[in-house]
Amino acid sequence: MARVARPPTAGGATAAALGALALAQVFVFGSQRQAGTSFLQPLSGARSSGARLSQSVRPIAGEATKPAFAAAGQQSSPLPLFAMVACAAAALRAQVIRRGKGKPQATSGVRVRKPKNNALRNCSIATFEECTTKQRYEPLTIMYKRRFARPRNKPIQMATRTARKSGHEFLSSGGHQRHARKYRIIDFGRTKRGMFGVIETVEYDPYRNARICLVRYEDGERRYVLHALGFFVGQQIISAADAPIFVGNAMPLDKIPIGTMVHNVELHPGNRGQMARAAGASATVLSRDGKYVTIKLPSSEVRLLHKDCWCTVGKVGRGECQLIKLGKAGKSAQLGWRPHVRGSAKNACDHPHGGGEGRSPVGHKHPMTPYGKCAHGKKTRRAGQPSSKYILIRRKKKSGRPG
């Protein structure tokens, strides 16, 4: 039985027609450019002043008229060059699409995966477009080994909550961790004072949700610093008391203008940056009074800090990391977050929420921890700390978060 050829689809036919039309236009315009003809040329008998332009060239009497294709065929056509460029562009575009495997969103830094299976249906990942290199600077990396709640020099694991959720099955050498993660030594204190440094690279750090930058100082030393919003390769930064108010420069809180956003803030002078270091985090300087500076932290807490505490101007980059969705529970397990059983699914002897027939309520006035304490709304700060007098306004409870 003879096989009937299927007619081409509308999309394929349209694409083929457009491609053929584009190649034909390139061939015609290229041949006309090589032949030296023009659409607008003056008449042979017209004067230079006041002569009108014509769209065709009149042949001289007694001269044979040559067809346009004959003149174009005598010289080489630039079609192969244009075809090579078009093919290279198409190959590059296909490579980018193949690497992306989804719809790239270059403006937000987050890429939504195509729902090819259930694991990718609600999955979004970073585009890594701000990173300039995949190679780490080895002199500033160390192998960081976690003990996973095991006592030192003892093989027995401690029966603690930290051990149950430590992720030792996935992040230990004998587990499912396929790639070793090296810790990058970051200069949180910005102790290279009074010396300009140039940002060489923007790199990925597996131990934090923000990016890091490799800075090369004037004496040749290189250090890692946090990537702030607005950093670019080749930018100069400095850590000095009289540094200008530019993004990336470090200085004491006493030199920061009121209302400026800062990050990597020291809690005590000389203890290196400890606050506002996560992706998209920043603190705001509210006022100055004597030897203390009032600052508003990312947790909405307002407190006093010593004026000699150092900080970095700007906001930590990659604030869009909160938009990333892992998509499946297995991805959380790969990152070290062990699954935990809900209290309502346990027996009454194992959890205050357990027991009962079917889907029973909590059975208490408020949710409780496994140890019978209040789980929502209870203040966890230890009473009687000397630093409590420096807290002017306690942090407010955020929507959807306990405490």
Token output for 185: 């030594």
Q: What b/e sequence results for 197-209 when a residue is b if at least 16 CB atoms lie within 10 Å of its CB, and e otherwise?
A: bebbbbbbbeebb
Show Cβ contacts of residue 166 under 8 Å, excluding neighbours closer than 6 positions: 146, 148, 149, 336, 338
Least confident of 234-238, 278-282, 375-379: 375-379
pLDDT(79) > 50: yes
CA distance to 67, 75, 344, 359, per residue, from 58 (Å)? 13, 23, 95, 95
> What is the spatial distance between Cα 207 and Cα 130, in angstroms, rounded to a whole number?
17
- Structural class in CATH, domain 184-317: mainly beta
Answering whether pTM is above 0.85, one says no
By the 10 Å C-beta count (0-12 exposed, 13-18 middle, 19+ buried), 52 is classed as: exposed
What pLDDT score does 14 carry? Answer: 43
What is the largest distance, in Å, between two alpha-carbon atoms of the chain? 114
pLDDT(172) > 90: no
pLDDT(129) > 60: yes
> What is the spatial distance between Cα 277 and Cα 316, in angstroms, rounded to a whole number?
7
CA distance to 125, 127, 128, 280, per residue, from 108 (Å)? 11, 9, 11, 13
- Average pLDDT score over residue span 229-238: 93
Q: What b/e sequence results for 10-48 when a residue is b if at least 16 CB atoms lie within 10 Å of its CB, and e otherwise?
A: eeeeeeeeeeeeeeeebbeebbeeebeeeeeeeeeeeee
pLDDT(390) > 90: yes
Token output for 34: 């090589």
The more confidently predicted of residues 135 and 17 is 135
What pLDDT score does 340 carry? Answer: 81
Confidence grade of residue 165 (pLDDT, cut at 50, 70, 90)? low
Ranges of each domain in the chain: 94-130+323-340, 184-317
The more confidently predicted of residues 269 and 105 is 269
> Under DSSP, is residue 170 helix (H, G, I), strand (E, B) or coil?
helix
Specify the residue for token string 């699954």.
339
What pLDDT score does 339 carry? Answer: 78
The more confidently predicted of residues 170 and 225 is 225
